[in-house]
Structure 1
Amino acid sequence: MSVRPPHHRRSVRRLRTAIAGAATGVLLLGLATPPAHAGDGTEAQLGTTARTAGHARFEPGPCPRTADPIPALGQARCGTLTVPENRSQRGGRMITLGVAIVPAAASRPTRDPIVWFAGGPGDDAVSEIPLALNGGLNRDRDVIFMSQRGTYSADPALTCPNIDQFNADALGLVYGAPSTGRLHVEATRTCHDRLVGLGADLSAYNSTESAADYADLRVALGIKQWNVFGISYGTDLALLYMREHPDGIRSVGIDGVLPPSLAGGAVTWKAAQEGFDGIFDACAQQPACNDRYPHLKTTFERLVRELEARPVTTTVTVPDRPEPVKVVLDGGTLVNWLTFASHLAAGVPRSIDELAHGNPQRIAEQLAGGKLSPQAIGRLSHGLAYGVFCSEWTPYETEADVLRAGRRAFPSFPESVLANAPGLAWLHADCRAWDVPAAPRSVRDVTHSDIPTLVLSGGFDSQTAPSSGPYAARTLRRSTEVTIPWVAHVVFADSPCAQSITTSFFDTPTAPDTACLSGLRPPAFDIAP
């Protein structure tokens, strides 16, 4: 584990300007009266009064639609923030972003709230309310959730169910085959054309517009000072927001760090290497795991090569589906599986060992369960995701850059595997179909800031890399950098210690309590009889 305490410098450098994340949503059902603890002018503005901030307008109203019931919304104060779709065009159309303010659990809460920056890009902030509350984020403070523009509870919602359905159907295709890539790009182009036909300005769904949305929200709600907590892509957005709109920010927490200067396919290969090695090393250090599953890393990399040369086909049963589901496992599919199976690290060695002995069922069931889950269809905003990917990432990283990063991380993998970064297959081809202009290069700037910042990483993070946290923290002069060992991407979701550190940080941003780190233990791996 690593803990880096806050560090200070006498000279305060000017914050570098940058382009920050795009956010849209629909606001949640609100209470008719201001919160009971209102009284100094900060919380009172979270009540029933409509307010404007430049061209933006907050208006109290009903809560947004949600795909699943969220009981906490019954106590939330909600509304909509109406903002320009494209701030560079005078007189253009307006869009609405959903806002829900979940009250603090404490009877006498602290005045400065926390605003939640969702992951993705393309995840809906309102759907992440249970994650935030299960970790106790609203213990002492109200927590504000605003759907980033284009997401599920926004208007418009730029979802692409046809792409999600293709990804589900592609379980039965060879992942690395050129024909699979062509079909995926066709699905991407089909959604692009549908959204454009509905009047969406796809170039306006990006991190720059999102940062401005949050700046407008703070002013429109009459909040003098708030705290920011971002996860996954929300950390990219938070770092941009700190540069672009530093006013009114008391402190920032970022978890599962994706620095804008690194975002792209290359860092996903680095993340896969670091996260996978974390699991393999943890198994090797436990005698029971090492004895039962020796040379786990070597076995996994051999399986990637063998499956890429000779894919394996099997069928599995998925709940609520009457017919068996065909699953094809090739090398790239195996890499993608482990990228997300790191969240179930205790079972990874057994799953790899079973595959090595001719039984792919456990891995195939996990793959099918994820792709065919109702949560995987129609909920992600591909409009926002490609808006970020194709304006901020691919213009500043070539396909050759991604391939070189893959070779550095996994020199034994075939080129057909390395051509598609984990979770970002065919991205450059998709972006050519999405056809949005590149963002200014400043979107990739490193963030320099004196705002107190908590930087959280997980030792098993195979999606954004454990090393990305220390990288970001080095230019955040009042930062506390913490790596939680043996935990995957977004440690706040799974680690009570991370949750404790986070709530402590918002109490005392320059001196959070990290004592729980000394009591952490590695997972007990699943040992087959």
Structure 2
Amino acid sequence: MVIFGNRILAAVVGCLIAAPVMAATPRPENAAARFEKVDCAIPVADGERIDCGMLIVPENRNKPASRTIRLPVMILRSTGITPAPDPVVYLPGGPGLSSVEGRTTGKGNPFLAERDQILLEGRGNKFAQPSLACPELNQLRAASAAGHAQTAAAKRCRTALIASGIDLDGYTSAESADDLEDLRRLLRVRQWNLIGYSYGTRLAQTVLARHPEGVRSVVLDSVLPVDINYDEMAGSALRRAIHLVFDGCASDPVCDTRHPDLRNRFAALIARADRKGITAPNGRVLRGRDIVEAIGAALQQPRLIPALPHLMDEVANDRIEGLLPLLQPGPSSFNWGQRLSIWCGEEMPFEKRERMEAQISPGLGLGGVDGRTATLETCAAWGVRAAEPSANEAVTSDVPILILAGEFDPVTPPDWGRRLLRTMPNARFVLIPGQAHGAMFNRCGGQLTIAFLRDPGAPLNLECVSKMSGPAFSD
């Protein structure tokens, strides 16, 4: 699952297991939950108002004798004279990305002008105690190692984590939602605002299902709905975005003249690469999958989208220099133990093998690129408890919600955001032209977010959206 994520949230200034909600889901109370003020988990800038602490909670709330775990907390204090009483809480992508990594300063953070921002390191993530890191698996994923090798590495990591005393069944979205609720109560915050990005949108939905009383408003950017089986749709999501580029070029007379019949020529390129390979200057032989993965990486960067027709044309003519920088992403920063615990417990039990395997079929024209998070075999090796069937049902909420989607998102298509409108009557959906995964990370998306937080019930001013015409493929 290529849910990329943890861009610094301050960038906006420069430019998920739950049952349907009837009432807050009851959970066992546990006196072990407490908050302690401690030094920050990472070095922070001198002279800034950043308070840090540690949330101490049960590892598994379903087990009365569960040990406790420690989750770092950062509170970036508002620079306003009279800050709003409702802070903002940022929930990053993943699952398996740190909330606090890189948060060394509050400078440039637009939220701090009006309210505090709270960051809670997700259980099992990089700076949590314990961390569920599986570095061997990170390396194998980066090298596109065979599935059986990844499964074997996952099994070795699981064995080591369990030997250290970790209860992998405690690392779920539901437990993370309860962590957030414990933190809210311990900090004596009446209500706060959630901003979820990618997987963070799924976690936000889980909070809405379990603890709606503590939520004033929610911003969901690049939505992963609870009731979507991601691995059954991963390839199709990427294909949609690539074909949107074809459509955009074909409808632009200049682009269509410069790069005629781009759709069919790209299909021929992928077929040729799969048949005999395309040799790069460094000697690497590229297959269709390599080319598609590089195009997918470019689709993650809105500034590169207008250049994609030219790049595809160049590669079709064996000039692949422009593609090379996109072929070297390096190991991901995902915490794979946390990622697999959530995915194998909450997603995989509801996925169908035949539908998952169809997403890597040559029939999609993507060279067999595999955007799935895990396989059934890897999840069987990871061996965590499956969630209840109700965990795959849409969440209902009447909390004010702003849903943002990027037009070219190759990971979580805009229709997934629109899907939430069925069960969230106070939600509003905005499509940001020309943007991709992370629709908030541009000037217009940032403006909409800030205005919504100021007054979640006010009409949206979409003037900035109307001025965004999308990529100019003719440039």
- The answer to whether 1:140 aligns with 2:114 is yes
Q: Are the equivalent residues in 2 in contact too, given 1:63–1:98 (CA < 8 A)?
A: yes
The structure 1 residue matched to 2:382, chosen from 407, 422, 434, is: 434
1:15 corresponding residue in structure 2: 22
- The answer to whether 1:331 aligns with 2:288 is yes
2:315 corresponding residue in structure 1: 355
Shift of 1:163: 1.5
What is the letter of the counterpart of residue 291 of structure 2?
A: L
The structure 2 residue matched to 1:233, chosen from 199, 205, 217, is: 199
Residue by residue over 1:38-85, the C-alpha shift from the partner in whole angstroms, topping out at 9 and shown as x without a partner, is xxxxxxxxxxxxxx97431111111113xxx66499431110100111
Cα distance between partner residues in 1 of 2:384 and 2:261: 46
Residue by residue over 1:426-460, the C-alpha shift from the partner in whole angstroms, topping out at 9 and shown as x without a partner, is 52222122111211111111011110000111101
- The answer to whether 1:413 aligns with 2:365 is yes
**1:467 counterpart SS class:** helix
Q: Are the equivalent residues in 2 in contact too, given 1:18–1:240 (CA < 8 A)?
A: no
Cα distance between partner residues in 2 of 1:133 and 1:269: 38
The structure 2 residue matched to 1:61, chosen from 25, 33, 38, is: 38
Cα distance between partner residues in 2 of 1:264 and 1:86: 26
Cα distance between partner residues in 2 of 1:73 and 1:125: 22
Cα distance between partner residues in 1 of 2:376 and 2:107: 37
State how 1:144-183 maps to structure 2 within 5 Å. Answer: 144-170=118-144, 180-183=146-149
1:47 corresponding residue in structure 2: none
What is the letter of the counterpart of residue 96 of structure 1?
A: R
State how 1:467-506 maps to structure 2 within 5 Å. Answer: 467-493=415-441, 495-506=442-453
2:371 corresponding residue in structure 1: 422
**2:113 counterpart SS class:** coil
**1:82 counterpart SS class:** strand
Shift of 1:252: 0.7
Shift of 1:341: 1.5
Residue by residue over 1:328-367, the C-alpha shift from the partner in whole angstroms, topping out at 9 and shown as x without a partner, is 4222333332222202313322222221111333323222
Shift of 1:313: 4.3
State how 1:369-380 maps to structure 2 within 5 Å. Answer: 370-371=329-330, 376=332, 379-380=333-334
| Structure 1 unaligned blocks of 5 or more | 1-12, 21-51, 317-325
Q: Are the equivalent residues in 2 in contact too, given 1:257–1:468 (CA < 8 A)?
A: yes
Q: Are the equivalent residues in 1 in contact too, given 2:21–2:395 (CA < 8 A)?
A: no
Cα distance between partner residues in 2 of 1:181 and 1:333: 17
1:386 corresponding residue in structure 2: 340
Q: Are the equivalent residues in 2 in contact too, given 1:122–1:384 (CA < 8 A)?
A: yes
Q: How many residues align?
A: 451
TM-score (norm 1): 0.79
Cα distance between partner residues in 2 of 1:437 and 1:450: 31
Shift of 1:104: 2.1
2:98 corresponding residue in structure 1: 124
Cα distance between partner residues in 2 of 1:168 and 1:315: 21
**2:112 counterpart SS class:** coil
Q: Are the equivalent residues in 2 in contact too, given 1:257–1:457 (CA < 8 A)?
A: yes
2:176 corresponding residue in structure 1: 210
**2:423 counterpart SS class:** coil
4+ residue runs of structure 1 moved beyond 6 angstroms?
16-20, 130-133
What is the letter of the counterpart of residue 15 of structure 1?
A: M
Aligned CA distance change for structure 1 residues 142 and 334 (closer, same or farther; 3 Å):
same
TM-score (norm 2): 0.87
Q: Are the equivalent residues in 2 in contact too, given 1:16–1:448 (CA < 8 A)?
A: no
What is the letter of the counterpart of residue 422 of structure 1?
A: G
Cα distance between partner residues in 2 of 1:422 and 1:101: 35
What is the letter of the counterpart of residue 292 of structure 2?
A: V
Cα distance between partner residues in 2 of 1:168 and 1:232: 21
Aligned CA distance change for structure 1 residues 129 and 524 (closer, same or farther; 3 Å):
farther
Aligned CA distance change for structure 1 residues 191 and 505 (closer, same or farther; 3 Å):
same
Cα distance between partner residues in 2 of 1:249 and 1:336: 38
- The answer to whether 1:273 aligns with 2:239 is yes
What is the letter of the counterpart of residue 330 of structure 1?
A: R
Cα distance between partner residues in 1 of 2:381 and 2:408: 34
2:230 corresponding residue in structure 1: 264
Cα distance between partner residues in 2 of 1:340 and 1:210: 29
What is the letter of the counterpart of residue 364 of structure 1?
A: L
Cα distance between partner residues in 2 of 1:72 and 1:259: 40
Q: Are the equivalent residues in 2 in contact too, given 1:458–1:483 (CA < 8 A)?
A: yes
- The answer to whether 1:367 aligns with 2:374 is no
| Structure 2 unaligned blocks of 5 or more | 1-19
Q: Are the equivalent residues in 2 in contact too, given 1:235–1:254 (CA < 8 A)?
A: yes
Cα distance between partner residues in 1 of 2:334 and 2:26: 22
What is the letter of the counterpart of residue 503 of structure 1?
A: I
- The answer to whether 1:509 aligns with 2:456 is yes
Aligned CA distance change for structure 1 residues 246 and 289 (closer, same or farther; 3 Å):
same
Cα distance between partner residues in 2 of 1:93 and 1:394: 27
Aligned CA distance change for structure 1 residues 135 and 274 (closer, same or farther; 3 Å):
farther
